[in-house]
Amino acid sequence: MLRVPICRIRLRLKNSQWHFRGYSTAKYHDSVLHRLADKEHRSHFRSLETEARKFKKGCSRGDITLRPSIRNFLVWLHVTRSGELLDRTTRNSQHEIILNAKLGNPVIPSPLKVSAVLEIAMFHFLTGIYTDDEAWFVKLNEHLDALRARLDSNKKFRKRHYLELSTILSQLGIKDGHGAKQQALSSALSCLSCDTSATSSNVVAWIRSLTSAGVSQACQQLATLSNIPAFVTSDILLRTPMSKDELYLQIDLWTTFMGSIGQAYHEKTSHTSSIIHNLAYYSIQFDPQALPDLILQTLQYFTSTKSGFKHKLIDYSFVNHLVYSLAYYYIRSSHRAGPAAMAVIRSQEHLVKGIGHSNLSQEGFIGIVLAIREVSDEKAVKLFKICQSHFHEMSTFFHIGNIHLSTTPEQLLHSFNSAIAQFPNSASLWLVFVKRLQSLELLTEARAQKLLTEIVTRKDSLILSKDIILTLLQPVDTINGIERFIKTLEDGDLLQMFKSGVVTKYLTLLYRFSTEKNVRKPYLDRYVHSTTNIDCARYLYASIDRKTTSTIGVMLNGEVVHQPQEIYNMYIEELQGKLADENCLVALLRACDIRPQGQVMMWGQLYAPQVAVHEFKTHVAKKLMPASTGGIIASNKLWRLYIQVLSTSDYLAELAEVIRWWEQVQFVPSKSTLMALLKALPRAFAERHIKHARSVPVKETMQKWPWPTLEEFQEFIESK
């Protein structure tokens, strides 16, 4: 029996708002509506929406025809609730399109497999409990009658057990239906009962999982079950993890259930491929060191013949696309070279080894070029020239490589203009262009505003990604600037789509200028009547329904100067068991420097530095692998703060451990970080390290460290 691994499931407690008195977020939202913010759903929905726009033929209504599946249940929910809850359109918009989700002809899976029947039946049941539309029930009953007739004609499915509708609805807290609704729900349960594991309690658990807001909550509903259907486990894997521990939970689920999912979706490899891409994307976002193992284990399972089942998933097309996608996901992330880039390259090596270099397509080749450029411009240019000699096609992949390798403003602009002239509707070209502007330090606030306006005017032909908007937000550095940014998005009816990223940026700016007053805030003035930035920041934070670890880190760092005594309590209550990220640890360490009346603060029964050092040791990686237990790969900034706290608190034992710690995680400190550590160590101890490093062969990692001479170290000490 397979069971959901629950070792990392953390209970989500009710949000405490004690330190944001006066701002209530106690408004009711059905938890399943949070699912509409998941990246995979947004991508799937936008592709269907684009098709609807394309083929609406001048009408104001666009039809989306759905095949019954859990992914399409979310599309149906999105369409039916968009006007009511999401306010995706405004009635005066010239771009408005009213979307209509409809069912086509009845879908009968062929071959008739239990896993497929269960997913179709669950789609019908879920849509049935989330609507009272009589016309929809007529169509549901038509589909379900056809499915039941097919099951009744097959000996394997003819004998089915009885599921009591009223019992299941009662456990879900839903009132009994009647008429066509009751008929549809009963028929859906009759189809679900073709599987002996579909008991009333199990069906309720499956539904609660599917309609839970997040990864952790969904898994909690399944923690005691066995024989969980593939459509339920794969639904969790297609969600957006809100923290590193939720990603690890998804990876655990994937390694446990990849076999049953692969077999259930044997004929629908795009579904399994979407899962792998989702896990890869969030591994790069949260923990790139987890990626190589994830890719290797996936390859080993789906290419193995030991199971006696031959999977169709791994072919040249899939591998080349994944090789490219890993590099593209890295570009979309906020990482800058170093260990993260090497993790992507190692993952690509696993993939290429599986198909051989001779079977690389232009797409795969460009993927390698993009990744290599993060560690060596020279090697990337050589590889790009080799790619050009093998593939002469001027594809979007070629142009993306050309843009990413640009080193001057003139070269970058020429490469982008050539690309966009050939592919005017490619959002990928815009993203790589904006990212390259950023990396060349050419993306100013004024330029970002101008580019945003240009992109918004093209919104009907571009499938805009959150990454473009987040990159353009990065140089926005003023309250007036973020208000202009919001106005541009509102004018294009796009604010709701990108609201979470915009709100987080606004929160950052309000906290940065928290001691100031901004009289006019056109967007915020609609919701909060206060001119002080700190009050606006607290309101904005309290209004966020799904707080990511990153958002919590922004709040903690903002509150450090206002409530340093309460930072640890906030840290515990807001994270609620989630793993801290670097910004959260930065907030704790920064708070340690604040000493009211010259006294070291107490957090509970312990001194603040004791607590901060303990949290640092708990969450920062002590080894490079395995990633899922490794923790944060600390930056130079975080290490310097840690060293400063150790030094001011006279924690000599912990200071002495730092060099060995750096060796274990293969961290190469900057010169300022290394100097900070040497200065914090006892003088004789520091000089002994310098002499040893310069006279005795040291490990390869330490050879890369910017060791000073004794004279340089002496000058550094005297200058401080």
pLDDT of residue 5: 33
The distance in angstroms from the start CA to the end CA of the chain is: 64
Where does the pLDDT of residue 319 fall: very low under 50, low under 70, confident under 90, or very high at 90 and above?
very high
- Spatial separation of the C-alpha atoms in residues 247 and 286, rounded to whole Å: 8
Instruction: Pinpoint the alpha helices (H) of 396-523.
Output: 396-404, 409-422, 427-439, 445-457, 466-473, 479-491, 499-512
Confidence of residue 703 (pLDDT cuts 50, 70, 90): confident
Longest dimension (CA), the chain: 90
Residue 396: pLDDT over 50:
yes
Residue 662 has pLDDT above 90, yes or no: yes
The percentage of the chain sitting over the pLDDT mark of 90, rounded to a whole number, equals 69
pTM above 0.85, yes or no: no
pLDDT tens per residue, range 328-383? 999 999 876 678 899 999 999 999 998 998 999 999 999 999 999 999 999 999 99
Task: Select the highest-mean-pLDDT range: 171-180, 444-453, 493-502.
Answer: 444-453
> What tens digit of pLDDT does each residue of 66-94 get?
999 999 999 999 998 864 443 433 333 43
Pairing of strands 98-103, 61-66: parallel
Residue 150 has pLDDT above 70, yes or no: yes
User: Region 138-156: what's the mean pLDDT?
Assistant: 93
Nearest to 575 by CA among 232, 246, 340: 246
Is residue 53 predicted with pLDDT exceeding 80? no
**pLDDT-derived band of residue 648, with 50, 70 and 90 as boundaries?**
very high
Torsion on CA atoms 643, 647, 653, 654, rounded to nearest 10:
-20
Q: Do the bridges between strand 602-603 and strand 606-607 make them parallel or antiparallel, or are there none, so unpaired? A: antiparallel
Contacts of 629 (CB under 8 A, 6+ apart): none
Q: Around 213, how many Cα atoms within 13 Å sit in the side-chain half-sphere? A: 10
Q: Is the pLDDT of residue 19 over 80?
A: no
Name the pLDDT band for 700 (thresholds 50, 70, 90).
low
Dump pLDDT digits (tens) for 493-504: 999 889 989 999
Most confident listed range (165-179, 385-399, 507-521, 685-699) = 385-399
- Among 531, 564, 563, 567, residue whose Cα is nearest residue 552: 567
- pLDDT tens by residue, 502-513: 999 999 999 999
405-441 confidence digits (pLDDT tens): 999 999 999 999 999 999 999 999 999 999 999 999 9
| pLDDT average, residue stretch 161-180 | 88
pLDDT digits (tens, 9 = 90+) for 531-581: 889 999 999 999 998 888 999 999 999 999 999 999 999 999 999 888 899
Mean pLDDT of 626-652: 86
- Please compute Rg for the chain using Cα positions: 28
Q: What is the mean pLDDT of residues 230-245?
A: 94
Over 90: is that where the pLDDT of 11 sits? no
Give the tens place of pLDDT for each residue, 254-285. 999 999 999 999 999 999 999 999 999 999 99
| Residue 18: per-residue pLDDT | 28
Omega cis (within 30) before 424: no
| DSSP secondary structure letter of residue 632 | B
Mean model confidence pLDDT for the chain: 88
Q: What is the model's pLDDT at position 360?
A: 95
What is the spatial distance between Cα 541 and Cα 231, in angstroms, rounded to a whole number?
A: 35
Instruction: Determine the pLDDT at residue 207.
Output: 97
H-type alpha helices, 173-243: 179-192, 200-210, 215-220, 230-237
DSSP letter (8 states) at residue 580: P
Q: Say whether pLDDT at 698 is over 80.
A: no
